[in-house]
Chain A
């Protein structure tokens, strides 16, 4: 179990959010889909925690469960605790959760066009946060909204505050979303693929902005992405997910340099890199298994190059390899 790794990380740093044994499933006509199965993760004060994995690995569902914005039904949270400031978020009333959401814990999403309301100006949407959480009046909250737009480096903020989302470019919409999320100076920002929909030059601008604001406010960030380059640039620690499970977690250097799980090894070798041209990309064979039809034993066993007999029968637990570095794999020593 990962309890030990939590204790060790707690000694060196103060956890601000602890997720333990989180399981989420979706009850659909086709059957029950176990999207997240027993996820543990710790977010420390002031750090950026990268959560990496491919589509369907449960990274977004984990984030949404923390925010309690999974629609139930069809979703259901089958087990788990999310401890923040000594309280289990799953035990709070909806009203209590609402007062935390957008104030102490905020979230930004991948697609800024669909997550902003097209019927209100961006200024109004930022002002709403101040009215709801700080009880400000219309005029004062709107003035604050303009300041926030300035803070996220939108040119001519007073004019832009009166624009509707469709009048802004993709990069500016993402800046407006960040302004909404950071309006109340949250302790935690959950960023779900914040730059995936953006072009690389705009991605560089937005990552730079998130990094600056994180340092200014001193908040902790959960950064969800499939882009290994983005986490190498931004994250302090990493969690790698596969088929609803954490398969490896550790510091950025642990994962990139001393990774233990064959899936992490495969992922890192499968992306072409600008710093060193590769002759042949290494493939991870096969496809991601369906969540309702996982192989027996380890979920990665059907695609793993280093599979052992044991892997096909028994699912490995998260095993500590080093201080604050653990992997869900039976391999004693890595063959690479």
Chain B
């Protein structure tokens, strides 16, 4: 049995989670069940490490594979290839996934579809206790539910109510409580604030920061909003078409982005300040994100890249470390840096 007051083992310097060459291919069309049809390479060789107590931001545009990456980490969908090691256990080959799932939890984007409308809040929060913690007395379970509700900023009398009685922000608090009630070590949050209004977003972001401290969590935070990620995460990984194109400590990534895609992303975010907006230089990318079904040759970003060269069309650049912890997959990383410096003037 696990008590929520159990102290965390922080002695090891081993990363909590280590991912190597993670791939997820979805077969398509009539021959989906045979192995030969066309495949969508949603995640195509993703590797990273998550240290204990870190919040890793996983950013990218729709279809870049960030959600699929998050889901394969917890084997909510089975990876096609790759190795996921969580606290010394190989997640992909374990035969006791249930024990791991208590320690690795997921928070979904849309709190309107992730809570069963027919279950009271008590039943929603009791489910993980029943599933992971064996038989507990009713009063013990009520105490746990009530305590967890308070920690996410709700009150004990909310437990008799149903999801429809809550606003979006409150529902996301309930979803967080459900993930936290069994005291996990890793939480994968998939766009947990993007469905919320601006004023509510700030509440949930602040809550997440606090909970991370209280529960000594490590978090993978999947998002498309670069400002939210900068505020919350360190380190940050940028994905494009199924691969990580740049991964770095936050400071370096935001101040000295080395991939032309990261640069374009950062320059595309409008700043809520009219004076800065008048000076801001947007680096417009031409075209759309290509389909992962028909990915370009060489570097997947080359058709939209302002710095494209011959080698980019032929060969796929690999992630290479440029400075401590700052890796980028680009042949032109040295030129990018120079041009970005000029842009910021």
| Chain A 185-214 per-residue mask, 1 if CB under 8 angstroms from chain B, else 0 | 000000000000001111111011000000
Binds A, one of B30-38, B136-144, B269-277: B269-277
Chain A residues with Cβ under 8 A from B294's Cβ? none
Most buried by B among A228, A229, A282: A229
Q: How far is the CA of A334 from the CA of B254 in the complex (A)?
A: 34
Judging by beta carbons under 8 Å apart, are A54 and B197 in contact? yes
Interface string of B254-266 (1 = CB under 8 A from A): 1000000000111
Q: Does B147 contact A (CB under 8 A)?
A: no
30 A-B pairs with CB atoms under 8 Å apart are A54-B199, A55-B197, A170-B62, A170-B288, A171-B288, A199-B61, A199-B62, A199-B224, A201-B61, A203-B270, A226-B198, A228-B272, A232-B271, A232-B276, A233-B271, A233-B277, A253-B274, A257-B274, A267-B198, A268-B272, A270-B198, A272-B205, A274-B226, A275-B276, A277-B230, A281-B205, A287-B169, A287-B170, A288-B167, A288-B197
Whether the Cβ atoms of A203 and B268 lie closer than 8 Å is yes
Contact: A229 with B199, CB < 8 Å? no
> At the interface, yes or no: B228 with Cβ under 8 Å from chain A?
yes
- On chain A, the number of residues with a Cβ less than 8 Å from chain B's Cβ atoms is 45
Q: Mark B151-191, 1 if CB is under 8 A from A, else 0.
A: 00000000000000001011000000000000000000000
Interchain CA distance A256-B274 in the complex, whole Å: 7
Q: With an 8 A cutoff between CB atoms, is B227 at the interface?
A: yes
Q: Is the CB of A274 within 8 A of B271?
A: yes
Complex contacts, B169 vs chain A, CB 8 Å: 287
Q: Is A227 an interface residue (CB 8 A)?
A: yes
CB of A283 within 8 Å of the partner chain? yes
In the complex, residue of chain A having the shortest beta-carbon distance to the beta carbon of B199:
A284
Given the contacts A267-B198, A288-B197, A229 and B272 also touching, CB distance less than 8 Å: yes
Give a binary string over A252-281; 1 marks a CB under 8 Å from any B CB, 0 the rest: 110011000000001110111111011011
Q: How far is the CA of A203 from the CA of B288 in the complex (A)?
A: 11
Interface of B is mostly: helix
CA distance A55 to B199 in the complex (A): 11
Bound complex: CA A238 to CA B230 (Å): 28
A275 vs B226: C-alpha distance in the bound complex, in angstroms? 11
For residue B254, which residues in chain A have a CB less than 8 angstroms away from its CB? 274
With A232-B271, A256-B273, A281-B231 in contact, do A205 and B198 touch (Cβ < 8 Å)? no
B269-A274 in contact (CB<8A): yes
Please tell me if the beta carbons of A275 and B230 are within 8 angstroms of each other in the complex. no
Considering residues A55, A199, A226, A230, which has the most beta carbons from chain B within 10 angstroms of its beta carbon? A199
List residues of chain A with CB within 8 A of the CB of B224. Answer: 199-200
Q: Which of A220-243 contact B (CB under 8 A)?
A: 226-230, 232-233
Contact of A256 among B61, B62, B272 (CB under 8 A): B272
What's the minimum C-beta distance from A61 to chain B, rounded to whole angstroms? 16
* Least CB distance, A174 to chain B, in whole angstroms: 11
Interface string of A165-195 (1 = CB under 8 A from B): 0000111100000000000000000000000
